[in-house]
Structure 1
Amino acid sequence: MPSHPRPPSPEISRRGLLRAGAAAAAFGASAGALLARASAASAVLSDGDHVPALVVGSGYGGAVTALRLTQAGIATSVVEMGMAWNTPGPDGNVFCDMIKPDQRSFWLRTRTDQPLGYFLGIPVNKPIGRYTGVLDSEAFSGIRVYQGRGLGGGSLVNGAMAVLPKREYFEEILPSVDADAMYRTYFPRAMAALGVNNVDPAWFESAACYRYARLSRDEAHASGYRTTFIPSVYDFAYMAQEQANAVARSALGSEVIYGNNHGKRSLDKTYLAAAAATGRLTVTTQHVVTAVAPANGGGYVVTLTQLGTTGDAVNTKTVRADRVFLAAGSVGTSKLLVAMKATGKLPGLGDAVGHGWGNNGNVMVARANHVWQPTGSLQSAMPAVGIDNWADPAGPVFAEIAPFPSGNETWISLYLAITKNPHRARFVYNAGTGAVDLTWRTEQNQPSIDAASRVFDTINRRQATIYRSDLFGVCKVWGDDLTYHPLGGCVLDQATDNYGRLPGHPGLYVMDGSLIPGSTGVNPFVTITALAERNIEKIISTDLP
């Protein structure tokens, strides 16, 4: 049992990550204006336009695709259903914080739908104005799926945890992909471009904002579990300045799930900014792709609905694209393709389309600490440590030590457990309503609860602590009805070929987390990014003139 967290990835050097992170931050600062011009009103797609390459979605897969296409000399248009988050509100900030959410927080809701919706068993969600906010809580019959809405997708609202999957597990979930090439080339390429950096261990040990993480780490060690530091795309140098009150606070200002005003290297500051710097990128925001169909003479006709900020449809357009790259996320891409298959707009899509969806084994849980074990009123919203019990064959678990940044002392230790849950679901088209639902049932999360219980029952027993049962409902211990990590629905080498091409539809590609069959064992965005790097490299070299 170690006394300190282990480094997360011996295959990518700490010095290399620091250099890459500094370079990405500097580039993001200089190229932000270029990205703003790429998404200006003059760049918005018009009805009847014809473009060489259309990328649907601006999350990790879409951002990688946009950068590599533009670098290859191809004029590329990105369509994003959310806003370009670059205009400050009345308070002077682009994003709101978690403690005082307003209309900027949620996508087209009149009340927040926070993952922790209760405190002391009392509902704590708050009324807000209906608006195209940055976080979507999309409800299906058995699960809520949290997704980012805006230019940069999920990178705007996640906890910035840039974790590599265990190699043996990567080989298990994606056996058709050359793992040597991924760990030698594409994972390092992705981490460099994302601006991944590591927390300074010495600073971590003294930082008041990580008291909560040190407490949970020490309790895990005392209970027989290993921990590891988590690389991040949040700038830890900036965070240290936040701690010293030298800069505006973001991670230390209760900012995370509704966006970060400072410090985070989200995709609009890295991949998308670099694509804009080529001069070949245009961005159309607040447009939803509702249909894709083959065009006479080649390419695809794409139907777009333009949204107002209250979600009303203000315009419908059709554009033609020589090639279409679907990167609307696991849910968005899967729903679109299932609907196109069911309605005959994309005839011949394989039966595997819509299948293989999973929630990455997500389950949340919290523990009540003793009164002499404060977690701290100042908490960094960016996790830096995880409990690594993935080697347990009876129930693999990687558990993020999560913050509870309420601004007050709570004595709460919170965790997001990622488990090896074998259950999968599929997307189903409803011909009567035209909607697409997901067959996931809440009870399918029982293997995740069982695996997480093995860890946290042990910690509670050895530390003489108990679970909190007032945060996810009334007398409800487990947050088992939500996921931050939707994966699958168009699985690589099943619904697509081994590089994301949709068979029978030349020039139509899938480039996002829907390619990954339901699980990565860790936070998935580095895997999504690296897989997109691999796939677009092959597509550019073989498919494009």
Structure 2
Amino acid sequence: MSVLSRRRFLGAAAGVAVGAVGAGMVDLGSVRGRRAQAAARPHYSAIVVGSGYGGGVSALRLGQAGVDTLILEKGRFWNAPDADGKRFSRMLPADTRAGWFSDVPPSLVSSYQGISIEDVAKHSPSPQPVQAGICQKTAHGDHDVFRGIGVGGGSLVNAAIAAIPTVGQVRAAFPDIDAAQFLGTYIERAKAMLRINYRDMDWFERTPYFQYARVGRKYAEAAGYQVDYNGSAYSFDYMKQEEAGQVPRSALDFEQQYGNNYGRFGSVDQTYIAAALATGNVSIRSLTEVTGIRRERSGEYVVSTREIDRWGHELGRHEIGCQQLHLNAGVLGTAEILLRARDTGALPHLSDEIGRGYGNNGDVMVAHRLNESDPAGTQQSLLGMINIDGRDDPVNPVYASMFSIPLPVETFALGYYVMVKTGDRADIAYDRSTDSVGINWPAENTDHLRVRAKAVFDKVTGANGVDYRDDIFEGRVFAPNTVHPLGGCVRGKATDSYGRVNGYDNLFVNDASLIPGYIGCNPFMSITALAERNIEGILQGRT
């Protein structure tokens, strides 16, 4: 026997009321009005909300299948330079292109030797007012979430680390999927589309721009850890040309977290989205936020949108209809759309599993000192790093991306973006009073991350005779930052195994929301491969 929640009761009651009006007195004027509205609004066979890894995959494969598809993206299409000749902001100094309507750049490294990035930003006037920038930082409970906003999503702002999950990681996250097929078919498909390339090891061993990574490798090996030389969606060939002075610099010129003006040839906007638009069956509307979704009796989904310009001025509100609705707006975006629809009664039959199973992929950041004999170097590449790879540890698996502090001076510091395994999960909830979602991430979840990460880095610091740094994250040694939010619409619970949302036909999720909170390495290759599998299965009618 199913339990009828208060939310579902209210939604059902609203439906009964509408039905009663129709069964008793038919308001012909209202019927004609609804028909006129439906006839006036544009209609597409499919709408894809979001243009990151999942949205890019869905849009391309729908377009190739001949499906008339519209992409809706909340952020900008970063395809035209500004007056300075650049599309994106450097990390040092950053301008208002860095943050989503913020005059403070949302930096993962928030301080250095007692100097706050926020304080520096307050005294560094930008040539432009706040705007629809490329990265957003939001606080949710006891952790901060960073996400890319724009056509291409997170592929615009991440470190382009194309980490490949192990067989064990695939089996743990997706027990119903054949790991050999996932890795051999869908990961390989993602590699080809995202132009994943690998470093010239001879160059890597001698370039000054990866001195910090070689030092990090030495420190990891002293502690008994191997390293993973990840592939990258940033071109290593371009990076070599940067060093040789043959092309404009980007990765070697303090560009990364707020976009790369050059060299990031594997971003979703330049790969999947470009290919989707080239089919002639796909179009895109950027700076267009989805404010609501509903379903008509005819089966048509109606998407309500708000369009703005770059500076935040509202240009209009519109409704667009579609037969298939594909939600790929990232964990927070997809959860907000679905939870708002469920909790306001627009789609009352959505599962109670919506919003559950959120995890931060075990993310926590840490930094430590380097010995004076092991300088990080004053020249650094902010892309193409290497990783501590302890994923085979049965007790405390870890994957940690090494990075240098982005300053043109010797810092004698090494930072890590760490992924450990705790099993902690949280709920994403919709607050009707603020019309927004929040994550209930308690302090004890962060404490568990710190304990796990400290066990790893006590080995690293102890084996090399160095101390932790507490000046990189405003007095903290371990910083609860995540750029890898996962879950909230977990496959097999809130959806079927291909992302079909339970309770409604022709409603799909195909992004990081499907992954059950943890994969254990940088997840964009896993997200892309899963999206490839899902949309293939949907187009082929697999169940």
One-letter identity of the residue aligned with 2:226: R
1:67/1:275 contact within 8 Å kept: yes
The residue that corresponds to 1:216 in the other structure is 216
One-letter identity of the residue aligned with 2:54: G
The residue that corresponds to 1:542 in the other structure is 541
One-letter identity of the residue aligned with 2:48: V
The residue that corresponds to 2:46 in the other structure is 53
The residue that corresponds to 1:518 in the other structure is 517
1:300/1:322 contact within 8 Å kept: yes
Shift of 1:135: 0.6
The residue that corresponds to 1:164 in the other structure is 164
Write the distance in 2 (CA, Å) between the matches of 1:231 and 1:47: 48
**Is 1:433 aligned to residue 434 of structure 2?**
yes
Shift of 1:273: 1.1
Write the distance in 2 (CA, Å) between the matches of 1:427 and 1:542: 31
The residue that corresponds to 1:119 in the other structure is 112
**Is 1:363 aligned to residue 356 of structure 2?**
no
**Is 1:273 aligned to residue 266 of structure 2?**
no
The residue that corresponds to 2:181 in the other structure is 181
Shift of 1:281: 1.4
The residue that corresponds to 1:103 in the other structure is 96
- SS of the equivalent of 1:210 reads helix
Deviates more, 1:183-192 or 1:118-127: 118-127
For residues 264-301 of structure 1, the C-alpha deviation after alignment (integer angstroms, 9 at most, x for no partner) is: 12111111111111111111000100111112312200
The residue that corresponds to 1:472 in the other structure is 473
2:376/2:404 contact within 8 Å kept: no
One-letter identity of the residue aligned with 1:160: A
Write the distance in 2 (CA, Å) between the matches of 1:498 and 1:225: 35
1:58/1:79 contact within 8 Å kept: yes
Question: What is the aligned-residue RMSD (CA, Å)?
Answer: 1.6
2:60 to 50, 59, 67: 67
**Is 1:85 aligned to residue 78 of structure 2?**
yes
Write the distance in 2 (CA, Å) between the matches of 1:525 and 1:54: 22
- SS of the equivalent of 1:252 reads coil
One-letter identity of the residue aligned with 2:529: A
The residue that corresponds to 1:230 in the other structure is 230
Shift of 1:190: 1.0
Write the distance in 2 (CA, Å) between the matches of 1:253 and 1:453: 32
2:47/2:326 contact within 8 Å kept: yes
Shift of 1:309: 2.2
- SS of the equivalent of 1:418 reads strand
- SS of the equivalent of 1:291 reads strand
Q: How does 1:283-298 map to 2 (within 5 A)?
A: 283-298=284-299
Shift of 1:222: 1.9
2:219/2:460 contact within 8 Å kept: yes
Write the distance in 2 (CA, Å) between the matches of 1:231 and 1:272: 21
Distance 1:47 1:179, change over 3 A: farther
Write the distance in 2 (CA, Å) between the matches of 1:353 and 1:210: 43
Shift of 1:223: 2.2
One-letter identity of the residue aligned with 2:360: N
2:53/2:152 contact within 8 Å kept: yes
Q: How does 1:348-387 map to 2 (within 5 A)?
A: 348-387=349-388
One-letter identity of the residue aligned with 2:189: R
2:95/2:103 contact within 8 Å kept: no
Task: Give the fraction of aligned pairs with identical amino acids, expressed as a percent.
Answer: 40
Distance 1:225 1:76, change over 3 A: same
1:47/1:319 contact within 8 Å kept: no
Write the distance in 2 (CA, Å) between the matches of 1:163 and 1:85: 25
Shift of 1:543: 8.1
Write the distance in 2 (CA, Å) between the matches of 1:543 and 1:277: 27
Shift of 1:122: 2.2
Distance 1:106 1:72, change over 3 A: same
Shift of 1:443: 3.1
Shift of 1:47: 7.5
2:231/2:384 contact within 8 Å kept: no
**Is 1:94 aligned to residue 87 of structure 2?**
yes
One-letter identity of the residue aligned with 1:133: G
The residue that corresponds to 1:508 in the other structure is 507
Write the distance in 1 (CA, Å) between the matches of 2:542 and 2:186: 20
- SS of the equivalent of 1:85 reads coil
1:394/1:451 contact within 8 Å kept: no
Shift of 1:432: 2.8
Shift of 1:185: 1.1
Write the distance in 2 (CA, Å) between the matches of 1:385 and 1:513: 23
For residues 490-532 of structure 1, the C-alpha deviation after alignment (integer angstroms, 9 at most, x for no partner) is: 0001000111001221111001000001111000101110001
- SS of the equivalent of 2:358 reads coil
The residue that corresponds to 1:445 in the other structure is 446
Q: How many residues align?
A: 497
- SS of the equivalent of 2:490 reads coil
Deviates more, 1:47-56 or 1:203-212: 47-56
Deviates more, 1:424-433 or 1:46-55: 46-55
Write the distance in 1 (CA, Å) between the matches of 2:460 and 2:76: 43
Write the distance in 1 (CA, Å) between the matches of 2:179 and 2:215: 36
One-letter identity of the residue aligned with 2:317: T
For residues 448-485 of structure 1, the C-alpha deviation after alignment (integer angstroms, 9 at most, x for no partner) is: 222221221112112111111011112x11112x2010
One-letter identity of the residue aligned with 1:210: F
2:361/2:419 contact within 8 Å kept: yes
Write the distance in 2 (CA, Å) between the matches of 1:111 and 1:384: 26
For residues 351-383 of structure 1, the C-alpha deviation after alignment (integer angstroms, 9 at most, x for no partner) is: 111000011111111111122221111101113
2:46/2:68 contact within 8 Å kept: yes
Runs (4+) off by over 4 Å: none
One-letter identity of the residue aligned with 2:323: D
For residues 24-45 of structure 1, the C-alpha deviation after alignment (integer angstroms, 9 at most, x for no partner) is: xxxxxxxxxxxxxxxxxxxxxx
For residues 309-355 of structure 1, the C-alpha deviation after alignment (integer angstroms, 9 at most, x for no partner) is: 23343311001011110000011101211111101111211111100
Shift of 1:164: 1.2
The residue that corresponds to 2:154 in the other structure is 154
For residues 171-229 of structure 1, the C-alpha deviation after alignment (integer angstroms, 9 at most, x for no partner) is: 11221223232122111111111111111111100111000000010111122211120
- Normalising by structure 1, report the TM-score: 0.89
- Normalising by structure 2, report the TM-score: 0.89
For residues 127-156 of structure 1, the C-alpha deviation after alignment (integer angstroms, 9 at most, x for no partner) is: 453110011112223322111111100000
1:421/1:445 contact within 8 Å kept: no
- SS of the equivalent of 1:168 reads helix
- SS of the equivalent of 2:306 reads strand
One-letter identity of the residue aligned with 2:231: P
For residues 381-432 of structure 1, the C-alpha deviation after alignment (integer angstroms, 9 at most, x for no partner) is: 1133111112222311101112322122211111101111211111112233
1:382/1:403 contact within 8 Å kept: no
Distance 1:187 1:143, change over 3 A: same
The residue that corresponds to 1:242 in the other structure is 242
Write the distance in 1 (CA, Å) between the matches of 2:116 and 2:213: 26
The residue that corresponds to 1:18 in the other structure is none
One-letter identity of the residue aligned with 1:155: S
1:361/1:445 contact within 8 Å kept: no
1:425/1:439 contact within 8 Å kept: yes
Write the distance in 2 (CA, Å) between the matches of 1:463 and 1:325: 50
2:359/2:425 contact within 8 Å kept: yes
